[in-house]
Chains A and B, each alone.
Chain A
Amino acid sequence: MTPKSNSAVLRVVTKQIIPMILLFGLYVQFHGEYGPGGGFQAGVIFAAGFVLYALVFGLDNASRAMPARALFKLAPLGVLLFAGVGVYSLLRGYAFLDYTAIDPHDPVHAQHLGILIIELGVGLTVFSVLLLIFYAFAGRRRADSLTHKDMG
């Protein structure tokens, strides 16, 4: 993954396009309760932005922008955010993941808030896990890459 692209066109276009990808990811994340989308799709789009960056500017630059160590913290945090909502409702005496517990006086608002929080958790985890998978495969030492014979 060390060879970086020297094409000026590619580099310029990529720099223009990545913010848009990330912005679209955020839109899909937070608009998920009204339209198509949600945490999983948003996480994938967000990760795709970073993958594009790594492909054009090299893995080293990408891991400076988003270190694997941070991703290792973000992934479990997302799961804990999701599960935390469930545990909170359990502790408040409601069923597991019953969003009503968040705001018992206004159940509709509570559903709204609940889905937003857990989708944020999903988005965080999907983003960081997908990017970690990419880092793991791309960063592997390729001293002797798969030969053609192996593939036959």
Chain B
Amino acid sequence: MNSLVLPALIPLLTAPLIVLIGGRHRAWLMAFISLGAALLSVVHLFSLGDSQNALGGWAAPVGITYVIDAANRPILLLIMLAGLLGLLCAPPERLAWLESPRPAIFYALYCLCVSGLAGIASTGDAFNVFVFLEISSLATYALVAAGPGRKALRAAFQYLVLGTLGGSFVLLGVGMLYMATGSLNMADIAALIPASPLPNAVLVGGAFVLLGFMLKSALFPLHQWLPGAYSRSPNAVAVLLAGSGTKVSLYALSRIMFGVFGVSWLVAHQVDKILLILACAAMLFGSLGAIQQTRLKALLAWSSIAQIGYIVLGISTLSEAGLRAAWVFMLFHAVIKGGLFVCASGLPSDRLENLPGLAQRDPLRAACMTLLALALLGVPLTAGFVSKWLMLQAAWDSGALLGVIVFAVSSLLAVAYVARIVLPIWQHSDNTQPIITPPTIRLAMLLTTAAALIFGVWPGPVIELCQRAAEALL
């Protein structure tokens, strides 16, 4: 039972060790081994079944508990895989632009960020969520600022201001819920809410917590921090953030929604309708924004805003099918978008007008990028198709006609921006100078592309995993 803390603990312990020992090559190796060990511990959790662990031997509701069930196991798996994928894109020799006298700190922050995300996913205590949220956020701001070029600094500052606001909203909301129920344990709060003497404090507290997590998950119109944070950060960080950052916030959002408030409370306060409208706006404006971008990573970031809309559409149905679709979407989108950011790393230029000729200069990268972009679009036989199909079904079954229509429009718009990536890649260009891609990045590209294709043909196990996650949440 004590192994429940390991996914968050192992990277948390590695961070100070890295600072202590130093050296960028050793640091990379240590971070890699630590995330690998954390991944093994997550795999071990799959064999454990649903379980709880009280920190320090203080039982719930007084102490802090860690809760592992079907809903957060896939998320933990996702975090560790995204973390490893990101590390593959940041072998130490690629961090040449980092002028810091202590480049090892980059990897220490990276481990802290992963640890914070894993903590959010595995804790059952509302205040502990805030603490881990801030651990991962503070590490992320610094990681974004480590990006090449001075614009990374301004993107990081923008993210810091908005992210701190989001974290503070969560803190405020948790405080109100504590005022209304006298407990910080999520399961305990859920049991105490119906009898709370302060129903208004519950309402306001719930609104603040949900608002905070919407900001953290970059749900439109609270998305302003995302394009800068994704497109200016080092590629490894972009892979980690796109793969797991916003997904973990969405997980926390659903955990609070279903684990603390419950469906009847959500319906009574029309949270489902609010989420549906925001999801539709995100799908529409995310895709429209992506079409207008001139840089590859910015385009991918705006597309992520639209994809967050898709996921929230699934959550807003408040149904088992919708949550299952949301979980499948999160997992598959992490693979696809993570893979695309992997493909974007190590490109000599980030601008779209420099894409032509890529097929001659780096055929493997061009092929992977094309397949992943098609998967992002949702072409049949790719993982993207499975997730979009499940989502469409869930939205249709729940009767959210508006959602279905916007879903279709947004998918059509996606054709436009995916074409802006795929078509130029295969155009001829006079520049035929080959691009040298390090073997670790090649490996990461191949792995994500293979996963996107294999799960497109054989999605059964993942869907079943997500089915159980949805059952556990509701």
Judged by CB atoms under 8 Å, the answer to whether A and B touch is: yes
A residues with CB within 8 A of B: 72-73, 75-77, 79-80, 83, 86-87, 90, 93-100
Collect the chain A residues with CB atoms within 8 Å of residue B2's CB: 90, 93-96
B57 at the interface (CB under 8 A from A): yes
Collect the chain B residues with CB atoms within 8 Å of residue A80's CB: 13, 16-17, 20
Q: Which of B134-161 contact A (CB under 8 A)?
A: none
A40 to B12, CA, bound (A): 19
Give A107's nearest chain B residue, CB to CB: B57
B348 at the interface (CB under 8 A from A): no
Give B66's nearest chain A residue, CB to CB: A96
Contact A83:B56 (CB < 8 A) given known A76-B17, A76-B19, A96-B2: no
A99 to B13, CA, bound (A): 18
Interface centre among A72, A76, A83, A100 (most CB of B within 10 A): A76
Known pairs A83-B16, A95-B54, A96-B56; list 14 more (Cβ under 8 Å). A72-B19, A73-B20, A76-B15, A76-B19, A79-B16, A83-B12, A86-B9, A87-B13, A94-B2, A96-B2, A96-B9, A96-B53, A98-B56, A99-B56
Is the Cβ of B16 less than 8 Å from the Cβ of A76? Answer: yes
Q: Which of B9-35 contact A (CB under 8 A)?
A: 9, 12-13, 15-17, 19-20
Contact A72:B102 (CB < 8 A) given known A95-B2, A100-B57: yes
Collect the chain A residues with CB atoms within 8 Å of residue B9's CB: 83, 86-87, 96
Interchain residue pairs with CB less than 8 A apart (24): A72-B102, A73-B20, A75-B16, A75-B19, A76-B16, A76-B20, A77-B20, A79-B16, A80-B16, A80-B20, A83-B9, A83-B12, A83-B16, A86-B9, A87-B9, A94-B2, A94-B57, A95-B54, A95-B56, A96-B5, A96-B53, A96-B55, A97-B55, A98-B57
Range of interface residues on B (Cβ < 8 Å): 10 to 19
What is the count of residue pairs linking A and B with beta-carbon distances less than 8 angstroms? 48
Q: Which of B28-61 contact A (CB under 8 A)?
A: 53-57
Question: Could you say which of B13, B20, B57 contacts A83, with CB atoms under 8 Å apart?
Answer: B13
A79 to B15, CA, bound (A): 9
Chain B min CB distance to A93 (Å): 8
Give B6's nearest chain A residue, CB to CB: A90
A98 to B55, CA, bound (A): 7
B residues with CB within 8 A of A: 2, 5, 9, 12-13, 15-17, 19-20, 53-57, 102
A76 to B13, CA, bound (A): 9
Chain A min CB distance to B113 (Å): 16
Is the Cβ of B55 less than 8 Å from the Cβ of A95? Answer: yes
Chain B min CB distance to A33 (Å): 15
Chain B min CB distance to A44 (Å): 19
Question: Could you say which of A73, A87, A95 contacts B57, with CB atoms under 8 Å apart?
Answer: A95
A76 to B30, CA, bound (A): 15
Chain B min CB distance to A103 (Å): 14
A112 to B5, CA, bound (A): 24
Collect the chain A residues with CB atoms within 8 Å of residue B54's CB: 95
Collect the chain B residues with CB atoms within 8 Å of residue A87's CB: 9, 13
A78 to B34, CA, bound (A): 20
User: Considering the complex of A and B, which 9 residue pairs feature the smallest CB-CB distances, nearest first?
Assistant: A76-B16, A98-B57, A79-B16, A76-B19, A97-B56, A76-B20, A96-B5, A95-B57, A98-B56
Chain B min CB distance to A70 (Å): 12
Collect the chain A residues with CB atoms within 8 Å of residue B12's CB: 83
Chain B min CB distance to A123 (Å): 15
A98 to B15, CA, bound (A): 22
A73 to B17, CA, bound (A): 10
Collect the chain B residues with CB atoms within 8 Å of residue A98's CB: 56-57
A108 to B185, CA, bound (A): 26
Chain A min CB distance to B30 (Å): 12
Collect the chain A residues with CB atoms within 8 Å of residue B17's CB: 76, 80
A73 to B55, CA, bound (A): 28
Collect the chain A residues with CB atoms within 8 Å of residue B13's CB: 80, 83, 87
A93 to B56, CA, bound (A): 12
Interface centre among A95, A97, A98 (most CB of B within 10 A): A95
Chain B min CB distance to A13 (Å): 36
Collect the chain B residues with CB atoms within 8 Å of residue A97's CB: 55-56
Collect the chain A residues with CB atoms within 8 Å of residue B19's CB: 72, 75-76
Chain A min CB distance to B66 (Å): 9
